[in-house]
Amino acid sequence: MSTLIENWIGQIADAAKSGRMLAIRGGGSKSFYGGPEQGERLDVRGHRGIVAYEPTELVVTARAGTPLVELAAALAEKGQWLAFEPPHFGPSATVGGMLASGLSGPRRQAVGALRDFVLGARLLSGAGEELSFGGQVMKNVAGYDVPRLLAGSLGTLGVVLEVSLKVLPLPVAEKSVRFAVDEAAALGRLNQWGGRPLPISASAWHDGVLTLRLSGATAAVQAAQRTLAGDDLADADATAFWQSLREQTDAFFAGDAPLWRLSLPSVAPPMALGPTLIEWGGAQRWLRTGDAGAIRAAAVKAGGHATLFRGDDALKAAAGVFQPLTAPLARIHRNLKHAFDPQGVFNRGRMYPEL
């Protein structure tokens, strides 16, 4: 065990004994997401580096403090990548922060979410114990549930030390096309196309423009282009566009207005609650408005839920960041928190005030 990890175990033990809280922090690129940090900072950036990478097995294992840009560069050298396109939100993003936030990019609608690519993990519990779950090969099915559970837990269950991830080859061919349609028509087309064997790897609608990205074999992409028609988007412009969505540098995300993320059935009709950007074939919708009550009520009515993705601390305190839990779900969350962090040392309040 490294001296760094031994020091962390000491910090954890001291915090648990004295009733203090620790705020786990990597690069800090996603510190805006979730509730405010509380307690003494536990900086994990020093625990970095790729532990194992076998391109032929499509698996990589990296320490939590490893910068995402370094991992992406190592994978690109072998023609591979993290296909769920995790957002970085800055050059300081780390592997641990990626797992803790659980966020996926535009390609999630085609390949699955981050949690679907997590094969194994090592972490320190609130009792200072080093725990290992899962494995480093895709066919190993033992213990998958805990590594997937860590995705999106915002560091409330433990200090992630290492993560094993499934990787995929880079696409052979890609092309993006655009259509001028209103929101209702865009949702209709996305659901119609979603039921057909088309190589759609990403979609986005905003302000009367629907953009599709086609990925796969060259022949399949070309055939889909002929079938769908639409206006071709230059390759450089397409790369910049999808990057701006992944990193939220698109003009839609600018400004101080609260940003809400709605997870809905793709067939849900337009919400008509404010400026909207639609991704994932209609299943993810971004709204710029501050009416928390109306948004949450509309999301539940449509069969989904709403998250306050970006907002000031006052709004987070008043509205909460995540959809309020039902009593059974709240009990499950409390039991998990107690099992991994019995003294409530880690990232208290980042998901829910009581956890």
pLDDT at 135: 67
pLDDT at 136: 58
User: Do 214 and 232 form a contact (C-beta atoms < 8 A)?
Assistant: no
pLDDT at 138: 41
pLDDT at 170: 97
Average pLDDT, the chain: 94
In whole angstroms, give the CA distance from residue 270 to residue 125.
43
Q: How would you class 262 by CB atoms within 10 Å of its CB: exposed for 0-12, middle for 13-18, buried for 19 or more?
A: buried
**Stretch 332-344: mean pLDDT, rounded?**
94
Reported as a single tens digit per residue, the pLDDT across 72-131 is 999 999 999 999 999 999 999 999 999 999 999 999 999 999 999 999 999 999 999 999
Q: Which long-range contacts (CB under 8 A, 24 or more apart) does 232-240 make?
A: 232/175, 232/176, 232/177, 233/175, 233/176, 233/177, 233/178, 235/174, 235/175, 237/176, 238/174, 238/175, 238/176, 238/213
pLDDT at 140: 43
HSE-up (13 A, CA, CB side) for residue 256:
3
DSSP 8-state class, residue 247? T
CB neighbours of residue 168 within 10 Å: 15
Is the pLDDT reported for residue 174 higher than 50? yes
Query: Can you tell me whether residue 18 is helix, strand or coil?
Result: helix
**Stretch 51-61: mean pLDDT, rounded?**
96
**What percent of the chain has a predicted confidence (pLDDT) above 70?**
97
CB neighbours of residue 217 within 10 Å: 12
pLDDT at 188: 98
Identity of the residue numbered 75: L
pLDDT at 197: 95
Best CA proximity match to 168, nearest among 212, 237, 116, 93: 116
Best CA proximity match to 219, nearest among 211, 208, 227, 210: 227
pLDDT at 1: 62
User: Do 30 and 89 form a contact (C-beta atoms < 8 A)?
Assistant: yes
Where residue 143 falls among pLDDT bands split at 50, 70, 90? very low
In whole angstroms, give the CA distance from residue 160 to residue 292.
32
**Stretch 238-246: mean pLDDT, rounded?**
98
In whole angstroms, give the CA distance from residue 222 to residue 254.
35
Is the pLDDT reported for residue 139 higher than 80? no
Best CA proximity match to 28, nearest among 86, 117, 101, 82: 101
User: Do 96 and 112 form a contact (C-beta atoms < 8 A)?
Assistant: no
Best CA proximity match to 36, nearest among 158, 124, 154: 154
What is the arrangement of strands in the sheet containing 159-166, beginning at the earlier edge strand?
Answer: 50-54, 59-63, 159-166, 118-124, 130-134
Reported as a single tens digit per residue, the pLDDT across 278-298 is 999 999 999 998 799 999 999
Where residue 2 falls among pLDDT bands split at 50, 70, 90? confident
Query: Is pLDDT larger for residue 2 or for residue 51?
Result: 51
